[in-house]
Amino acid sequence: MVQRERVSDNVYSFQSEVYAQVTAGAVIGPNWAVVIDTLAIPEETLEIREFIERDLEVPVRYVINTHYHADHSWGNCFFPGATIIAHSNCRHLLETIGEASLSEVKKHNNSFRHVEIVTPHITFEENNLNLRVGKKTLTMIPLPGHSNDNIGILVEEDRVLFAGDAFMPMPYIVDGDLDDLVTSIKKIGKMGLENVIQGHGDIVLRGEIDAALKEDLSYLSNLRKAVRKASRRKYPLEVLDEIDVESCGKSRVLIGGLAAELHKRNLRALYRKQYGEPLIRPLEDDEYYDEEELEED
Ligand SMILES: [Zn+2]
């Protein structure tokens, strides 16, 4: 159920085959290991634990959450002996939104019955945080924009970045901030990386990183233009819904086919943030009939 890849010595990435190509990672030390994010479905997280603790024979001592979203953090409870590390906003968001949405999900989804929210034990804010694992140094770096708690984890010696959702096949800003994400993407571009493990999707190799970041920045600027264009119209949603994902420079097959839907949500969220609630055309609007009559003439 989980695809595993060895990224470099003692560094692994995992990708879900079930949900939105979401990823996780692990860095293995001589006596204990660090897990970076958990996966969407409990069985997948348990598969990662089995691999590390049974096959590699080291206990998981730390779990780092890149951000609070369910598909990255709801597996914390499957590492009961581990210390959880995240941004301080992540703790707050798990305590509030996380707890509430888990109890909602439990009402109709039996596979989450054993899941409990485990909030981070160690948190940090603006400054980076370091963790030494065997011969590797992990640097945790705030990369907000997808959400305000998103962090990346850089394996310094290997120049491998676990980016959380700051790096995805298509940027997603509904729960975040476009300007923050632009800043984070530019920051990633200056890191001199060998590999990026995106929060969703395949590993991005050194030669592909710059082009991918450029494409993301151009997508975000297209979103901005689209929303501005819509704002000049009386009924902005009608314009927004016509601006498809391809015209903003991304393919709809990305993120396991979710891209078109996520794109639509991006547009609407950005519109609301900048211009407030859009006016929706009432069913019996005179202007509507006028246009129809005009067309018939
Ligand atoms: Zn997310």
pLDDT at 288 over 70: no
Q: How far is the CA of 297 from the centre of ligand 1 (A)?
A: 50
Distance 72 CA to ligand 1 centre (A): 7
Q: Residue 292: is its pLDDT beyond 50?
A: no
Among 43-57, 72-86, 156-170, 245-259, the minimum mean pLDDT is found in: 245-259
pLDDT > 60? residue 2: yes
Q: How confident is the model at residue 278 (pLDDT cuts 50, 70, 90)?
A: confident
Cα-to-centroid distance, 261 and ligand 1 (Å): 15
- Give distance in angstroms: CA of 281 to centre of ligand 1: 33
More confident position, 49 or 284: 49
Give 80 Cα–ligand 1 centroid separation in angstroms: 23
Q: Is the pLDDT of residue 296 over 50?
A: no
| Distance of CA 259 from the midpoint of ligand 1 (Å) | 14
- Cα dist from 175 to 1, 183, 211, 262, whole Å: 28, 16, 25, 12
Using 50, 70 and 90 to split pLDDT, how confident is the model at 281? confident
Query: According to the model, what pLDDT value does residue 295 have?
Result: 46
Q: What is the pLDDT of residue 115?
A: 97
pLDDT of residue 286: 55
Provide DSSP, 196-241.
Answer: EEESBSSPEEHHHHHHHHHHHHHHHHHHHHHHHHHHTSSSHHHHHT
- Quote the ligand 1 centre to 290 CA distance (angstroms): 44
Ligand 1 (ion): residues with CB under 5 Å are 69, 165
**Averaged pLDDT score across all residues of the chain:** 94
Q: Average pLDDT of 87-108?
A: 97
Ligand 1 centre distance from Cα of residue 266 (Å):
13
pLDDT tens, residue by residue, 67-84: 999 999 999 999 999 999
Question: What is the pLDDT, as a whole number, of residue 280?
Answer: 86
Tell me, what's the pLDDT at 284?
A: 65
pLDDT tens column, 214-273: 999 999 999 999 999 999 998 888 889 899 999 999 999 898 889 999 999 999 999 999
Question: Where does residue 45 fall: left (phi above 0), alpha (psi -120 to 50 degrees), or beta otherwise?
Answer: alpha
**How many angstroms separate the alpha carbon of residue 144 from the centre of ligand 1?**
11
Using the predicted structure, report yes or no on whether residue 159 has a pLDDT greater than 90. Answer: yes
- Cα 232 to averaged position of ligand 1 atoms, centre (Å): 31
Say how many Å lie between the CA of residue 87 and the centre of ligand 1: 14
